[in-house]
Structure 1
Amino acid sequence: MALKSILIHPDPRLKSVADPVSASEVDKALRRLADDMLETMYDAPGIGLAAPQVGVGKRLLVMDCVKEENTPPRPMVLINPAVTWSSENLNTYEEGCLSIPEQYADVERPAEVEVIWIDLEGVTHTERFDGLWATCVQHEIDHLNGKLFIDYLKPLRRQIITRKMVKLKREQARA
């Protein structure tokens, strides 16, 4: 396993729609990518990471929203995930993003969603998520569709955050 570099906004790859993963692509290389992404996510630390965030334009995401002590982690790998149902009830969470470090904002999303995906064995799953899990899976699926959480914000707030990221990238390039 190896840590992956996480792309920082603005980067055009973060705004691209990811390609579906074909059945033949669910192989050793994809499993290694999923393992690397989980390791990268935990190391960051974060609760979700989408393949486009590590420069891979595939519909693959990893997440683990277990935060309670004494509760075993629940690492999940979702290939070609799609929301099949969402509640009318909404939740607002303060979201952050590994591609937009140290920037947070309230985002309103459906409180519950049902998602279908395939796993690394090619098995189809459907699960209903709520709370932080619902927010996380929607946030990561947005990444697969070229959308960032700041796209939900008012233009001025989005511009301020983008300017901060441009400055951060300049500073990192100098270091």
Structure 2
Amino acid sequence: MRIIGGTHRSVALTPVGKGDEAGHLRPTTDRIRESLFNVLAGGRFGDPVEGARVLDLFAGTGALGLEALSRGAAQVCFIEKGRAGYKLLSKNIAKLRAGEVTNALTWDATRLPANPYKPFNLVFLDPPYGKDLGSAALKCAKAQGWISDDALIVWEEESPQSAPDGFAVLDHKKYGATHITFLETA
């Protein structure tokens, strides 16, 4: 795994190794990240990355949020409960020397407290597949003030996702067995 574009292009991220099967650690592949960020840069959604305040829920290694940071995001807040994922995430933040523009929190994305920061306008959501955690995390993040009213949400899952209450589907893309649903707040 590596950063695909931007100021940290080609920087190798910490290898996952055996990962964390119990924690369902499944990093987004380089190919899917490249395709995803090409869609984001394509103009359909404006320029959602440049200057963005990014929330990376179920962050795992942090590859999505760190890719956004490399491509011009201003701030990234990572939420990762798993020990193996959080350890890899911390190493990757250090590797990119991004500690001053990131926050890494070991919280449950489905049980977030009230947001202590300014709301985020770009949200990456990559929950463990088959656990039905994505809707719960989005609802909680919105209710607790983590998501701005003009946010773009990028939800990665194993099947297409319908919008939970308070959100609307903008688009859907399929990359092999991975489905990406783009949402906005409603």
Q: Normalising by structure 1, what TM-score?
A: 0.26
Q: Normalising by structure 2, what TM-score?
A: 0.25
Higher relative contact order (CA 8 A, sep 6+): 1
Name whichever structure is richer in helix by fraction.
1
- Higher Cα Rg, which structure: 1
